[in-house]
Chains A and B, each alone.
Chain A
Amino acid sequence: MEKVTFHLPTLWADHHVLAVRELLQQINGVQDIKASAMDQRVEIQYDPSVVTAEVLASQLAQAGYDPTRVPELPTYPKRIDDASDWFRFQERITVTDMRDLEMSGDFRKY
């Protein structure tokens, strides 16, 4: 019995855990699976005489769980000093929304 661990950046939520487990459970030779969405990692115990780590990796990759694929996050403009108001030291005026005040303390309506 051998053990292999893959870091899968696309395994980031528990519906992916269900998908990865379902996929691996159908492969002959897979004995035990520990999939963690928190660590984005799957640990597989398998019988090397039936299946190899490479086959497991390629099956996972085909299903969208490629260890080398990092899910893309949209890029947002960096907050660099662009001389906008945000970075200018100035007096700021905050206006309290009266509705917020009414919702608090003795004025609570809800």
Chain B
Amino acid sequence: MSGLISLIFIALIMWYFLQGRKKSTRQINKKWTYVFLATYAALLIIATVAVELVDTTSLNSQPKAESNEHLNRLTTAIQNGDIGSIDSSTILSKKTQTIGKTLRMNAQGNDINSTIIVERKSENDGLIEETIIKPHLLLGEYDFSDQLNYEIPEWTAYSITFLEPPLTEITYTTYQEAYLLRQFTRTSRQRNNSHHTSERQIAVHLLVPKDLIITADERLYINYINE
């Protein structure tokens, strides 16, 4: 229906122009026509230059998303507890926590999406080594990880509490040049307006003593390595 309305609208515009020649009252002074045209062209050129200046400061400041291969490698490393292979820039924090014989893992809130990996040591040294891996958020081709809110787990002597992250609201607009004009450019002609979202909250890797007794809230999804 909207297509039909567009066609009628376009037909009306074309009819208007084709009729326009017959009615001399519609004719604008010829000199003014070229003044308008030159002004319009000047405005477009100014806009083109201005966009370039803005472009260098903010338009492309958002980092581009890493390749899927890179993300898959990271996910596999997290799930397998292979922390050593994870790039240090991806790690948010590392710390050691003294623990007794039991650990209670609590959940505060309903939307706790943290990835929790528990790996046992070969000894009972009374220490938990906690590694937190940064969250990631990819929207289409852009990396919004730095804008994703998260909460670091809270420790007590015998427990760790995972908190629901604060709300994150992201609004953005993308602009692409006309499809027809990108026929011979290096820019992909593929339309990228599929809104693909890839999100992972922080991943918490806990390297715990061999015989530590763990009790966990049922709202938490925990991956026990080698169990």
Q: Do A and B bind each other?
A: no
The residues of A with any CB-CB pair to B shorter than 8 Å are: none
